[in-house]
Chains A and B, each alone.
Chain A
Amino acid sequence: MAGTAVRGRLTWQTATVDSVIDETPTVRTLVLGVPDWGGHQAGQHLDIRLTGDDGYQAERSYSIAAAPGEPVAITVERLDDGEVSPYLTEDVQAGDELEVRGPIGGYFVWDPARPDGDVPLLLLAGGSGVVPLRSILRHRSQVGSSVPTRLLYSARNWDEVIYRSEFASPAPGVEVIYTLTRQQPAGWTGYARRVDQAMITEVAWPVAQIPMAQIPMAQMPVAYVCGPTNFVEAVAADLVALGYPPQRVKTERFGATGTP
């Protein structure tokens, strides 16, 4: 079994699209059948490779939306000028084949069995950056973890919020806080601006008043920040300014895709 898992990890293998779920008008989850999948950890990603009938190939990376042990799934946001995302979000059907390589990534992983899996958890999502964080939240529920957890999710408007119904009933100990940066529904009383230092100060688990000498690093909260690069840069800097040691702020940047 270990041999099979290693082979799946290092090489491309054929996967079949089992089903598709339209999460929002521009975002779709693809559930994949991957015969030699060796399992994955919460927060990891996989690489997809598509081949056209002229032999042209394109590769992209997508965060895994599923928790460990659940059917492999990715959530893809359609980029207007994209080459792969319009295909995956509009054209692909159940039964179609593509190639998958993974799971990939040992850095942006939440593992309840590790010491930093047993501390307050702060998840900060910019747009489609919520995908790996959703895997983390599902895994937290799976294992019955009770670590205090907050998700700050920045989206342009309510229609673009992914996994809305899931987040409407968070597990015990999980708070989901939204900020809708461009448009808000009538009667909205939540945050209505891009994430800034003041918002971070209100939402993040406080660390500034904990004298570093008295709390060992191993017990400090840990933050996972994922989304467009400009979002991650600003939020990570705000957390460090608040007193989070840089090594307790894990980051994954998606580039210029999707403004916050």
Chain B
Amino acid sequence: MKPLEDDVLDGNAIGGKLIELFGIEMTTAVGTCGVCGNAGQVAEMAVYLMQMGTVVRCRVCDNVLMVFVEVRGVTCVDLQGLASLS
């Protein structure tokens, strides 16, 4: 696993956003990457938190697992990169 760049965060940083979207604590939820099969807790996923949106990637293969974009107060959530999330 190559090291994350300095300004990259992890799933802990979006704990509040995830409670807001899913109604429950999610940092310990286990997500499986749809590309490489790596299974890991949300807290350990790579989080690119930008004003444009939030992109969550697999630590092993960089595949995009989740994307959150807020437009006019509504958040678009894309979880297509995950094979599963439990």
Contacts and interface: CB of A to CB of B under 8 A. Distances in A.
> Are any A and B Cβ atoms less than 8 Å apart in their complex?
yes
Interface of A: 9-10, 45, 47, 59, 61, 101-102, 104-108, 228-230, 233-234, 237, 250-256
Interface stretch (B19-27, B61-69, B75-83): B19-27
A230 B9 CA distance: 10
Contacts, number: 73
Interface string B39-69: 0011110000100000000000000000000
Contacts of A106: 25, 27-28
B44 A251 contact: yes
Given A9-B19, A106-B27, A252-B12, A228 B6 contact: yes
A105 B27 contact: yes
A102 B16 contact: yes
18 contacts: A9-B19, A10-B19, A45-B15, A101-B19, A102-B16, A104-B15, A104-B25, A105-B12, A106-B25, A107-B42, A108-B12, A108-B43, A229-B4, A234-B3, A251-B43, A252-B43, A255-B9, A256-B6
A101 B5 contact: no
A61 B10 contact: no
Contact of A10 (B10, B20, B41, B49): B20
Nearest to B20: A10
A61 B12 CA distance: 10
Contacts of A252: 10, 12, 43
A255 B12 contact: no
Main SS class of interface, B:
mixed
B13 interface: yes
- Top 5 A-B residue pairs of the complex, sorted by shortest distance between their CB atoms: A107-B43, A233-B3, A104-B15, A107-B27, A47-B16
Interface residues on B, range: 20 to 34
Contacts of A45: 12, 15
A251 B1 CA distance: 15
Contacts of A104: 15-16, 19, 25, 27
Contacts of B5: 229
A158 B86 CA distance: 44
B8 interface: yes
Contact of A229 (B9, B11, B19, B41): B9
Contacts of A59: 16
A251 B10 contact: yes
A251 B44 CA distance: 7
Contacts of A253: 4, 8-10, 12-13
A194 B75 CA distance: 40
Given A108-B12, A255-B9, A233 B41 contact: no
Given A10-B20, A61-B16, A250-B43, 19 more contacts: A61-B15, A101-B19, A104-B15, A104-B16, A104-B27, A105-B27, A105-B43, A108-B27, A228-B6, A229-B4, A229-B5, A229-B8, A229-B9, A230-B6, A234-B3, A237-B3, A251-B10, A253-B13, A256-B6
